[in-house]
Amino acid sequence: MRRSIATVCLSGSLEEKLTAAAAAGFDGVEIFEPDLVVSDSSPEEIRALADRLGLSIDLYQPFRDFEGVTPDLLEANLRRARTRFEVMRRLGADTILVCSNVGTATIDSDQVSADQLHRLGDLAASYGIRVAYEALAWGTYVDDYRHSWRIVERVDHEAVGVCLDSFHILSRGHDPAAIEDIPGEKIFFVQLADAPALSMDVLSWSRHHRLFPGEGAFDLGRFVVHLARAGYDGPLSLEVFNDTFRQTDTRRTAEHALRSLVWLEDRAARLLGPTDSLSRIADVDVPTGLDYVEIKAEDTSGVEVMLDQLGLVFRGKHRTKSVRLWSAGQARIVLNEEHARDLEPHVAGVGFQVRDAAATSERARDLAVRPAARRTHAGEQRLSGFVAPSGLEVFLNGRSAGGAEPFWAEEFEHGHVASDSGVASVDHVNLAHSWEAHDEAVLFYTSVLGLEAPSATEIAGPQGLVRSQVMSNANGSVRIPMNVAPAGQTRFPEHVALRCDDVAAVARHARERGLRPLPVPANYYDDLRARFDLADDVLERLRSNDLLYDRDDRGEFRHFYTPRIGRVFFEVVERVDGYDGYGADSAPTRLAAQARLDRLVAPRSTSA
């Protein structure tokens, strides 16, 4: 199906919105009237710009409070409609959205509304324009799409059809199956939005909390299947009001929006079975493991000291680049100093093990993901890669086999050197995003890589709540907890968690080599005693190694943290008997301890 987006979804001027929509790969746009009103481009100039960009203007919206009114008001509304039709003629737009009346309707009669819409249809037809009538969820008399369709049937005018908006239908819990009772050619337009499951008034929910498809709780795949079965062949258009998107970079939001629509169409195509009307993309190929984590900085030597303390071993320098490999078991850390002037240590890339790197790359490309540029020299292995929302470079290795060494490791000068540290693998990589980028990042990892996103948690830090969303594959061999940094904290750190079978041994080894782990306060252990009824000797073993502790219904979790270097730090974890969490109850203690260390480095100013 053709893909369209409402200009209200994007930030910036109308010209910027159109340019970003075209650059992302949309076929058309809905022009949100206020975006035109505030523009200093004339309707003719906007039309010419859209033409140059290859965008159709699929809809002009919204026209409010038309039907169910007294005769006087009807005449005024028809005059108002005429001025809008004049503008649409100049714009070259041939469909207008008419929302069910929420303000001025006083006559609760389908026949009156149908008669009035029939007159609007006559006027519209004289301009070559079609009227798409939509039931708003909070319409005074018409708040259900089945009701708007009954009225449109009664209008019986070739220029009057319905507009279906997933938000207005699914937010009210209305069954979308009756879409199939509407002839496809009478569905003049379709608007899509997802939304989180919130219980609040539906108007605020609609105005502030809509999401792109795949980010919320609505079953939009099924919604699109009903449309296809009804025979609808117009555009699928996104109309998402969300405070975040309006404050985010326009081009990035447009790519994010297109990704959600491609993903949705693919999902619907798979639900529907063989069809020509819906496009499919390559199958998702969920990563089976983490190939490596890349840390980049102008100077990575401090990280090297820490990796040595944690028991990883130096595996050599890359043949042609200023890149070094450290490892222990299946944990591989790549330290990259290429083109890193003035950069402090940070997580710059993650390698995933997949079955078919070429197919996943194709899927990523179809989902409007930008490829990562990586210089390759003669004789070197080529990895497929792309750029995740935070700027993280994601690379795919389709040739890893179980516990064997990855093929690219031979580009490093030393051969295989075993570590006896007990560190076995990377347990998880914890990424941080600004609040504007978080939803986009979740959609990226679910749609491109097929990771799952169980419910999120919130952690109280000394400078605000930290929202945390775990992304993982089914067996937990790939775990990416993602934190939303409190607003304004741009240097929120990320970390790499290494997994072992005896965290106390790794901690002792590290301490012998000079590591001072993140100090855990005595009050924490008093609290542990109360919460878990732990024996004194157990508590003492934890305390002496600055270990944190948690327990779930399966097993136990013991872990410690290193201090921060730049924007990265390390954690070492031991999972006992299938413990499946991340020690969230200990996170406030960790955040407070880090804040104390940070203050030693840079005392906080006491601003007025």
Interaction site with a second copy (CB under 8 A): 11-13, 33-34, 36-43, 76, 79-80, 83-84, 87, 198-201, 243, 246-247, 249, 251-252, 391, 435, 460, 462-465, 486-488, 519, 521-524, 526-527, 529-531, 533, 588-589, 591-593, 595-596, 606-608
The verdict on whether residue 191 carries a ligand-binding annotation is yes
Measured CA to CA, the distance from residue 597 to residue 564 in angstroms comes to 9
Q: Closest approach of Cβ 607 to a second copy, in Å?
A: 6
**480 CB burial (10 A radius; 0-12, 13-18, 19+):** buried
**Strands 464-472 and 457-461, how do they pair?**
antiparallel
Q: Closest approach of Cβ 407 to a second copy, in Å?
A: 31
Nearer to a second copy, 450 or 588 (CB): 588
Q: Closest approach of Cβ 514 to a second copy, in Å?
A: 22
Nearer to a second copy, 6 or 155 (CB): 6
Measured CA to CA, the distance from residue 228 to residue 187 in angstroms comes to 11
Nearer to a second copy, 475 or 606 (CB): 606
Distance of CA 267 to the CA centre of its chain: 17
Distance of CA 608 to the CA centre of its chain: 37
Q: For the chain, how are helix, strand and coil distributed in percent, rounded to 5?
A: 35, 25, 40
Strand partners, 191: 165, 237
Q: Show the tokens assigned to 425.
A: 């693998």
Distance of CA 12 to the CA centre of its chain: 21
Strands (E), 199-265: 236-238
Q: Closest approach of Cβ 58 to a second copy, in Å?
A: 20
The verdict on whether residue 239 carries a ligand-binding annotation is yes
Q: Closest approach of Cβ 547 to a second copy, in Å?
A: 16
**340 CB burial (10 A radius; 0-12, 13-18, 19+):** middle
The verdict on whether residue 165 carries a ligand-binding annotation is yes
Measured CA to CA, the distance from residue 163 to residue 186 in angstroms comes to 9
The set of long-range contacts for 318-325, using a CB threshold of 8 Å and a minimum separation of 24, is 318/411, 318/412, 318/413, 319/377, 319/380, 319/411, 319/412, 319/413, 320/377, 320/380, 320/411, 324/300, 324/412, 325/292, 325/409, 325/412
Q: Closest approach of Cβ 474 to a second copy, in Å?
A: 29
CA angle 482, 436, 590 (to 5 degrees): 35
**Strands 323-328 and 331-336, how do they pair?**
antiparallel
Nearer to a second copy, 14 or 151 (CB): 14
Nearer to a second copy, 150 or 529 (CB): 529
H or E segment and range at residue 335: strand 331-336
Q: Closest approach of Cβ 114 to a second copy, in Å?
A: 24
Taking the CA atoms of 378, 380, 381 and 386 in sequence, report the sign of the dihedral they define.
negative
Q: Closest approach of Cβ 565 to a second copy, in Å?
A: 22
The verdict on whether residue 571 carries a ligand-binding annotation is yes
Nearer to a second copy, 42 or 106 (CB): 42
Nearer to a second copy, 401 or 530 (CB): 530
Q: Closest approach of Cβ 540 to a second copy, in Å?
A: 16
Nearer to a second copy, 348 or 593 (CB): 593
Cβ atoms 358, 398 nearer than 8 A: yes
The verdict on whether residue 157 carries a ligand-binding annotation is no
Nearer to a second copy, 391 or 454 (CB): 391
In DSSP notation, 367-398 reads TTPPBPP----TTPPP-EEEE-TTS-EEEEES
**Binding site for Mg(2+): what residues are annotated?**
428, 495, 571
**Binding site: what residues are annotated?**
134, 165, 191, 239, 428, 495, 571
**Binding site for a divalent metal cation: what residues are annotated?**
134, 165, 191, 239
